[in-house]
Structure 1
């Protein structure tokens, strides 16, 4: 069975609730989309605003407070918001990657501790973090536990490796830039290759539910897992999956029965969050980002700017300014597209007003340095 590039785009939009806003609770929505990028505290909220009808940010506040959705270092070694019931298997799937990258990092090894030492230390740390602890508190505990201070870089590697959830700290989006940590409520099994292999099989199925059809390279990119591990995991569950041929002949995998709308299905405009998952979930990012625009959207330090989505593809970037949303299109847009973006801007300005009207303001330097654009418009907030 073949699938076109446009068909792949629409499959992603359908599974990510971006063809139309749906009436779902926060927890069900997070489960449906699998994982929300959460490096920037506002992004999961804006991601859900894009996907749900009548989304109330207080719902995500409550889910975070009740640990029904959790924020932790997971796929691609970055922060994600996931459903609490997915956390354990996702973390087990990521164990070899996190163990190698965090405990093998020179900042950690310079402490003189081995990976085995870290395993013991993590167990004690999780008992200490039965209540939320700040980084400074964890640093003080480590100094007492080890008899000498641990360098900040080594502490950071240990915190990112340990199965810790970010605890709510307040602020407009539940989390502030200075995090607090609490032990995961459902602790994963660490350093067991068989458990990690089973976790990766589960993660692959969940990934395909939310982002498929996809190639082995896409799966490896989504998780930042060695391609050999992904191939082995796909092979173990191959009988449960369908195979398709992508537009360039690449073998793609999918879960049976998942949505695959026609390539000409209408796709409404959206104002996407920074680091939105659809921009990062594939080795071939041309599924959503035209190749010519990738360097404008993903900056040299890894920042992924908030984007305009028009007809399912990135068409520019946006930022809040006095009076509304400033939208910069990378190519000429139709009057109908601008009208749709203007309606989204009015809704977004109202959504942001009570929490953070100038969201992402710290990233304004990218605009100060100049961005290419065919047209820039102020989309009023009223």
Structure 2
């Protein structure tokens, strides 16, 4: 098994993620290729598509959401993802164990707060309420609370959100609009029930978009466990490599690897982009020391800037009154060339998101 350097892994994943060269693809193709996009922050996927595609316009994603070809809902790791409707219907049942853990192991909402409760009755009541009309979390709490007066309404509403295949419907997630998260179910919104696609197909698609990767990486991305037996079943279709630390890595047998010295341009990633979350070992993109510092400082809710394929800065759009613009904060020392490259890409992002606004660069302390 050939040993791959961190730089080789970096370039391979950047290529799979369409971050070496922007692609002439549709937004729907991209969402499906990436197996969904993190969407806790409603507008993050727009930046994620802009940074990967030539000529992406926000209206393309708006049309997908309003036309119900794409949806936003709880998916991998019990977090909100933008998915194609096809993938939501097929993958949502597979990640139900993540949702169960979110309910029954979550100290804030689950465990003792739901102990002894007839959860089937709670779920049925939530489904009936959403059949009447889409509901916000507050509306679910207010309606479910009186039905179980000895229970905490937030726990009841959270159980409904996780145990049903809920979707956050527009205008949430629509460019230029806002609104509280309002939920419906897949059956109500899409007119179809969920039906699990083969887990083997999902794992193969993961390697296509995020490989080469280990079993632990697949599990970190999906939030599922015991995927080693799935990968073993797929081994005849896979090629194996060795990571710098000796871990076994897997990839599609048909997948090629780019030269590890291929240039990697500056790229602005949206908040919580899966490319930085989809591996248990993230050292191909960020050093553990830097990652720990950024997490401790709770700054990873900002977008990340890649330079030469690695996290070099954080960014955020500022929209407060007249104070509009893009703030870029370096987290590692940057050369003059790196600063110029990041500034140039940042100005392109401003043209996309806040035309006519300035860029402010904050150097590393």
TM-score, normalised on structure 1?
Answer: 0.82
Residues 104/332 of structure 1: CA separation in 2 closer, same or farther (3 Å cut): closer
Per the alignment, do residues 162 and 301 of structure 1 end up closer, same or farther by CA in structure 2, a change over 3 Å counting? farther
Inter-CA distance 173–243: structure 2 relative to 1 (3 Å threshold):
same
Specify the alignment match of 1:266 in structure 2. Answer: 263
Partner residue of 1:362?
none
Deviations 1:119-153 (A, max 9, x none): 45434533542443222333344346657775213
Match of 1:363 in 2: none
Q: Distance in 2 between matches of 1:271 and 1:15?
A: 16
- Aligned partner of residue 344 in structure 1, secondary structure: helix
Given that residues 168 and 175 in structure 1 are in contact (C-alpha distance below 8 angstroms), is that contact kept between their aligned partners in structure 2?
A: no
Secondary structure at the counterpart of residue 260 of structure 1: coil
Q: Does 1:134 align with 2:151?
A: no
- Return the offset for 1:257: 2.2
Is 1:212 the equivalent of 2:218?
no
Q: 1:230 to 1:177 in 2, by over 3 A?
A: farther
Contact 2:122 2:160 in 1 (8 A): no
Render the CA deviation track for 1:73-111: whole Å, top value 9, x for unaligned.
111221111221111332122112211331454534545
Counterpart Cα distance in 1 of 2:163 and 2:20: 36
Partners of 1:158 and 1:104 in 2: CA distance: 15
Partner of 1:93: 94
RMSD, aligned α-carbons: 2.9
- Indicate conservation of the 8 Å contact 2:172/2:180, yes or no: no
Is 1:306 the equivalent of 2:308?
no
Q: CA-to-partner distance for each residue in 1:224-249, whole Å, 9 max, x for gaps?
A: 222xx111221232222222222222
Q: Given the superposition, is the C-alpha separation of residues 300 and 153 from structure 1 closer, same or farther in structure 2, using an over 3 Å criterion?
A: farther
Conservation of the 8 A alpha-carbon contact between 2:7 and 2:260: yes
For structure 1, which segment, 48-57 or 244-253, has the greater mean C-alpha deviation from structure 2 after superposition?
244-253
Structure 1 contact 64–70 (Cα < 8 Å) conserved: yes
Instruction: Describe the superposition over 1:299-338 as per-residue Cα deviations: whole angstroms up to 9, x where unpaired.
Output: 4558433122101000121233547433222333233322
Structure 1 spans left out of the alignment, 5+ residues: 190-194, 359-366, 375-382
Q: 1:122 to 1:66 in 2, by over 3 A?
A: farther
Following TM superposition, by how much is the alpha carbon of 1:187 offset from its aligned partner in structure 2, in angstroms? 2.9
1:187 corresponds in structure 2 to 193
CA shift in 2, pair 1:180/1:174, >3 Å: farther
Q: Distance in 1 between matches of 2:276 and 2:160?
A: 28
Aligned mate of 1:236, from 233, 237, 257: 233
In the alignment, which residue of structure 2 is the partner of 1:224? 223
114 and 18 in structure 1: CA distance in 2 versus 1, 3 angstrom threshold: farther
**In the alignment, which of 351, 365, 373 is matched to residue 364 of structure 2?**
373
Q: In structure 2, how many angstroms separate the alpha carbons of the residues matched to 1:222 and 1:302?
A: 21
Q: 1: distance between equivalents of 2:207 and 2:316?
A: 31
Q: 1:150 to 1:175 in 2, by over 3 A?
A: farther
